[in-house]
Amino acid sequence: MMEENKQIQSDTIPELATEKNILGRWAGFFIDRYRIVFLIIAALIIWGANSYFKIPRELQPEVILPFGHVMTVYSGAAPDEVEKLITDKIEKKMTELNKVKKISSSSGFGYSSVFVEFETGVDIDDMLVKMREKVSAVRGELPKDAEIPDVSNFETNNSPIMIINVTGDYDFITLKSIATRIKDSIETITDVSDVQIIGGLEREIKIIVDPQRLAHYAISLEQIKNAITLSNINFPGGSIDLDYKNYNIRTVGEMETVDELNGVVITYHGSNPVFLRDIAQIEDGYADPDSYSRLSSGLESSNPVTKNSVALSIKKKESADVIKTAQKIHEKINLEKGSTYPADLQVEISGDTAVYVKDQLGGVTDNAFSGLLLVGVILFLFIGLRESFVVAIVIPLSIFAAFGLMKSSGMTFNNITLFSLILAVGMLVDNGIVIMQNIARLRTMGLDAARAAAAATNQIAPAIASSTMTTLAAFFPIMLTPGIMGQFIKPIPQTVIYALSASFIVAITITPALCSMLLKKTKGNGIEVSKFIPPRINYIISLIFVVCLTMLAFRTDQGGIFGFGIVSLIFAIIIGSGLVIKNYRQRHEKKGSFTLKKYGEFIEQVIQSKKRRWAVLGITLTAFVLSILLIPLGFLKVEMFPPSDFTRLYINIETPKGSTLDTTSVIAEEVERRLFAFPEIKSFVSNVGITGADSFDDFSTGMGATPYKGRVVIDLYDEKDRERSSMEVAAIMRENLRDIPGAKISVSEVGSGPPTDAPIVVNIRGENLDELKKVANDFTSILEKIEGTRDVKHSIQEGTPELQVKINKAKAASLGLDEMTIASGVRNAVHGLKATTFRKDQDEIDVYIRTTNDKLSSIQDLENLYLYSKAGQPIPFKQVAVLEESKSVTAISHEDSKRQVTVTGEIMTGIIAGDVTKKFLESTAAYPLPTGITITLGGENQEIEESYSDMFTNMSIAAVLVFLILAVQFNSLSQPWIILLTLPMAMIGVLPGLVITGNNFGFVSFVGVVALVGIAVNNAIVLVDYMNYMRKNGYEIKEAVSQAVGVRFVPIMATTITTAGGILPITLSEPFFEQLGYAIIFGLMASTLLTLVIIPVLYTMLEERKEKRLEKSRNQSFQGGGTSEKDITILSGN
């Protein structure tokens, strides 16, 4: 009897008679061996969980710039001398290297800085070796007194991850000494690359010599230095065997107290020793400060506090986890309280990037969880509770596998990778849904769970393999995007490819096996009824369950009751209503779904009438054209990246070159005073006299302290705790600080994309510096007048004022002075002559010899100096030299060996860089450029052009790959074209969707469009595949189409809604991902709805045309009697 039933089922269910393919045999193997499935599940969980905790965290993907840098110091040389003698020669040699994209340089006072930008994908370490070889080859052509050029790579991770502020009831010498010990301790942490101290005072021993006594004893400063150095040494004496023991011998001569300096013998006057105390006064003081630091906190109270502090700016290594690194620093500080630093010292941390990264990643993770919940709810609505559980298990298992692959390939957790996982969540269940829906269909025909799982997977597996491959093919070209942008977005395709590949394997391995084990036997029409809970109670519980999960998915930490705001309520009502409607139809619609019935009737009406077919195609084409016109008509603006709301702002202060540290500090204090009026500010730190490479400019000059610069690092309250966004706060700050005289003050926000140029960049090239400067000044004025621009400047600026010492060589020689003696004398008067280092406890204290204790404050003070001959005779400076004041440009810039001045400008929030560039070009169209001067545009406009060109290329490659896969899958060259039409249909949703939601078309939107090449075709693939399947089983064209749309309608809608639902929470809550999210959601919705209409129409038209050709061929065959069966087969091909 059982054999007879099987025979009947085989006759009535074509899937049972279908020969098993390799994927069907694969699924069948695991259905029969369920214990192996449990082992695979356990292995994936262990592998993924272990990898999850080891993957480094950061805010954005690490971008490695392919730069090589050659730094050459040539002390005392002017920019034009450096350009001619060093920069030009090094640049020429660098052009001999292969794979060079661009060479740029800066020649300034005493330095040459040459940057070589290589093409994407080069081995930067190998190129650095070749750069060193070229530098060695040109070394002999450089000035002999220039230092050896240093070749290095440009570190992109230059921003500090936190600032430690040290304050307390201690003097600034003690504070800096303590800060130095803290610095030494923190630098022992493996992941910390650099710790820089800002502010405080360094202890310094000053030996103030008496010029009259020097003259009396005929002692020079060099004599004093040598005597002190020789009196403050420890010297090894080797080892020796004495009395049967081996001894190490060491002469201990280092001074232990400052008073010992007084007893140093400098020389002899006759037979009497001349001690240091006889000719000088020793003072235990401090060195001139090179930076100041102030911490302002307690702004939420009525009495905010500003305290002078010593700040430690901490940077991490590029590969380090920012959260774990910050945690180690916190632990180190807490652990060493009372040992490394006093317990009563106040140590406050500001600018902690880890806190922001943790919050951001936490927010994205919450959105991922919300997306997962929403996908689960949608699955429950479409396929039931038990079935949704079986399908949903694909998600965590695929993500665990993705974690393992991400860890193995060296990826990090950041906003981009987490969004990619969220994007994948909705797609991960697509394969499972299609398989499950096919299993459910066969179970309603009377098959048991195991046979249904095997037959359904065997029938549908080739189609889902093809759809998975097309999705992977669409994402893969994005990985080929070159340059900085390519590195930034590479985690998107990489993560999605990992997750989708895993989901396919899980779907054909684990899903069928779990279905065979966990699904009940079918009853009647296949709707399962619980034996223990009455249907009405079961329905009420389901409704409460769905509503609660939906509200939880859209819960936020902003407003509402327990975070359940209006958005949660709206979606709960929508989803709950969906369940109510579903339940009603299951109870009252005996002949199937009302929606499906009406849809089927509509498709039949359309495909039966040629007029309706062409009408549908005409309406679709019109909608596509109107959508595309939204960009040229100005309804949809094009930009690079959207602005984002961050908790960090920076204020950069620049006083005129040559300004003193105190002058810059006064300006900074006024900025600080005005910041107290902003309720959004949590705290801020002011650093005056920025040291080190805190910006690209400082790095390129190789300079250290810059007393004319200052920076204020501002920490804002969390977004939920303030009414205004960081963009709004920054705009108000600019207005508030605009009228502060004596400095250029700019407010900058944290960028939401990879490192890029300013939005507006105008490159002016030529040879005549005066002409370049005039054009730059004119263009700067023009750009400043364009509405929406700010912080407009150009790169050629006045340098620091210079005093040149002009020596009367004949006079100097007659008085026993040479040029080096005079130069050293001037330097010693300004900075002092370092004699030795005095060690006290853990500190090293410099000892300087000075000729005066008074700080030089005027040019006249310098002219009144005394110089000392080698015989120790004092000689007035005025007798042998004069001072001349001069000023020139700061630096001379090159790009590709030509002089260049760059005009840059920022733009206000909401302003599109392309609009500003257009207005600039209109304003300068009639500008009379001098002969030899050329203009090129850069900035965001150029980046958009280059990046969008790359994305067009990626989209074309994706389309070709998808076409090839489909051609192989369907053994046809015509049907793939039908499926590829889903892409333009997607644009009907993408562009209007962005306009409706108030978004611009940005680079991330384009990434979504390229992704849609693979995502949107999946529905068409399973639809066409089933149409072909029905045709092979003897159905007529229109009947096959009607059957296919009926069978595939629910899985197509389910996969579409789960993909869109998975990314909906993050799209609604994260501004940076709005464009990408809405592009995919609206594009997928439009392509799905049109796929369900256009694909049946085009398939019907194509198949009818093929049948007509075949019929015509047969008629010709019968009339001519010559066409073979093989010829007919060829003619019937696709």
Residue 6 has pLDDT above 70, yes or no: no
The upper half-sphere exposure of residue 847, i.e. CA atoms within 13 Å in the direction of its Cβ, equals 25
- pLDDT tens string 399-439: 899 999 999 998 888 878 887 887 777 677 777 777 877 88
Residue among 509, 527, 507 at smallest CA distance from 434:
507
The set of long-range contacts for 616-625, using a CB threshold of 8 Å and a minimum separation of 24, is 616/1093, 616/1094, 616/1097, 617/1094, 617/1097, 617/1098, 620/985, 620/988, 620/1090, 620/1094, 623/988, 624/984, 624/985, 624/987, 624/988
The pair of three-digit structure tokens given for residue 320, joined into one six-digit string: 């380090």
Show the domain range for 195: 162-202+289-350
Q: Which residue has the higher pLDDT, 872 or 466?
A: 466
3-state secondary structure of 154: coil
- Distance in angstroms (rounded) separating the CA atoms of residues 231 and 220: 17
The pair of three-digit structure tokens given for residue 165, joined into one six-digit string: 């502020």
Indicate the pairing of strand 203-209 with strand 310-316: unpaired
Domain C-terminal end among 300, 332, 350: 350
Confirm if 486 and 393 have CB atoms less than 8 A apart.
no
Confirm if 710 and 688 have CB atoms less than 8 A apart.
yes
Q: Residue 170's domain is classified under what CATH number?
A: 3.30.70.1320
For residue 237, give the H/E element and its range. Answer: strand 234-242
pLDDT of residue 701: 43
The pair of three-digit structure tokens given for residue 850, joined into one six-digit string: 């000075």
Task: Name the maximum alpha-carbon separation found in the chain.
Answer: 139
Which residues neighbour 1010 within 8 Å (Cβ) at sequence distance 6 or greater? 474, 475, 477, 478, 951, 954, 955, 958
> Could you tell me the pLDDT band of residue 93, with boundaries at 50, 70 and 90?
very high
Domain C-terminal end among 750, 775, 804: 750
The pair of three-digit structure tokens given for residue 772, joined into one six-digit string: 């370049």
Domain contains 309: yes
Domain contains 680: yes
For residue 980, give the H/E element and its range. Answer: helix 975-980
Helices (H), 33-164: 34-52, 79-82, 88-94, 124-138
The total of structural domains in the chain comes to 3
Residue 1134 has pLDDT above 70, yes or no: no
pLDDT of residue 663: 92
**What one-character-per-residue DSSP string does 164-185 give?**
EEEESSS-HHHHHHHHHHHHHH
* Cβ-based neighbour number of residue 998 at 10 Å: 8
415-444 and 511-518 helices, crossing angle to 10°? 50
Name the burial class of residue 410, with classes exposed (0-12), middle (13-18) and buried (19+) by CB atoms within 10 angstroms of its CB.
exposed
CA-based Rg of the chain, rounded to a whole angstrom? 38
Domain contains 95: yes
- Distance in angstroms (rounded) separating the CA atoms of residues 271 and 659: 51
449-475 and 511-518 helices, crossing angle to 10°? 150
Residue 130 has pLDDT above 60, yes or no: yes
- pLDDT tens string 1036-1086: 888 888 888 888 887 788 778 877 877 888 788 777 788 888 998 899 888
Examine the domain organization and report whether 149 and 168 are in the same domain.
no
The pair of three-digit structure tokens given for residue 1082, joined into one six-digit string: 């609206």
- pLDDT tens string 680-694: 998 899 989 875 434
Domain C-terminal end among 302, 327, 350: 350
pLDDT of residue 189: 92
Examine the domain organization and report whether 693 and 650 are in the same domain.
yes
Domain contains 284: no
**What one-character-per-residue DSSP string does 439-500 give?**
HHHHHHTT--HHHHHHHHHHHHHHHHHHHHHHHHHHHGGGGG--HHHHHHHTHHHHHHHHHH
Q: Residue 730's domain is classified under what CATH number?
A: 3.30.70.1430
Examine the domain organization and report whether 80 and 173 are in the same domain.
no
- Distance in angstroms (rounded) separating the CA atoms of residues 1011 and 1016: 8
Give how far the C-alpha of residue 1090 lies from the chain's centroid of Cα atoms, to the nearest Å: 36
- Distance in angstroms (rounded) separating the CA atoms of residues 889 and 79: 8
Examine the domain organization and report whether 134 and 114 are in the same domain.
yes
Is pTM, for the whole model, over 0.85? no
- Distance in angstroms (rounded) separating the CA atoms of residues 603 and 962: 27
Residue 1014 has pLDDT above 60, yes or no: yes
- pLDDT tens string 840-862: 776 788 898 887 666 667 788 77
- pLDDT tens string 533-582: 566 666 566 667 666 766 666 665 554 444 455 656 666 666 666 666 56
SS (H, E, C) 1063-1107: HHHHHHHCHHHHHHHHHHHHHHHHHHHHHHHHHHHHHHHHHHHHH
Residue 43 has pLDDT above 90, yes or no: yes
Examine the domain organization and report whether 174 and 109 are in the same domain.
no
Examine the domain organization and report whether 295 and 149 are in the same domain.
no
Examine the domain organization and report whether 652 and 737 are in the same domain.
yes
- Distance in angstroms (rounded) separating the CA atoms of residues 194 and 693: 11
- Distance in angstroms (rounded) separating the CA atoms of residues 60 and 5: 60
The pair of three-digit structure tokens given for residue 638, joined into one six-digit string: 């094009």
Examine the domain organization and report whether 187 and 302 are in the same domain.
yes
Domain contains 336: yes
Residue 48 has pLDDT above 70, yes or no: yes
Examine the domain organization and report whether 137 and 167 are in the same domain.
no
Distances (CA, A) of 630 to 181, 996, 1001: 62, 12, 10
Q: Between vectors from CA 854 to CA 213 and to CA 77, what angle results, nearest 5°?
A: 100
The pair of three-digit structure tokens given for residue 616, joined into one six-digit string: 């549908």
- What letter would DSSP give residue 307? E
Domain contains 167: yes
- Distance in angstroms (rounded) separating the CA atoms of residues 490 and 953: 15
Examine the domain organization and report whether 120 and 175 are in the same domain.
no
Give how far the C-alpha of residue 265 lies from the chain's centroid of Cα atoms, to the nearest Å: 62
Q: What is the rounded average pLDDT of the residues 982-987?
A: 84
What's the distance, Cα to Cα, between the start and end of the chain in Å? 44
Residue 90 has pLDDT above 90, yes or no: yes
Q: What is the rounded average pLDDT of the residues 459-488?
A: 83
Examine the domain organization and report whether 138 and 167 are in the same domain.
no
pLDDT of residue 692: 42
What is the phi/psi pair of residue 532, to 5°? -105, -30
SS (H, E, C) 918-968: HHHHHHCCCCCCCCCCEEEEEHHHHHHHHHHHHHHHHHHHHHHHHHHHHHH
Confirm if 892 and 899 have CB atoms less than 8 A apart.
yes
- What letter would DSSP give residue 243? T
> Could you tell me the pLDDT band of residue 1126, with boundaries at 50, 70 and 90?
very low
> Could you tell me the pLDDT band of residue 1125, with boundaries at 50, 70 and 90?
very low
Domain contains 194: yes
Q: Which residue has the higher pLDDT, 587 or 317?
A: 317
Residue 279 has pLDDT above 80, yes or no: yes
Domain contains 702: yes
Residue 748 has pLDDT above 90, yes or no: no
Confirm if 23 and 458 have CB atoms less than 8 A apart.
yes
Confirm if 1001 and 1075 have CB atoms less than 8 A apart.
yes
Examine the domain organization and report whether 127 and 168 are in the same domain.
no
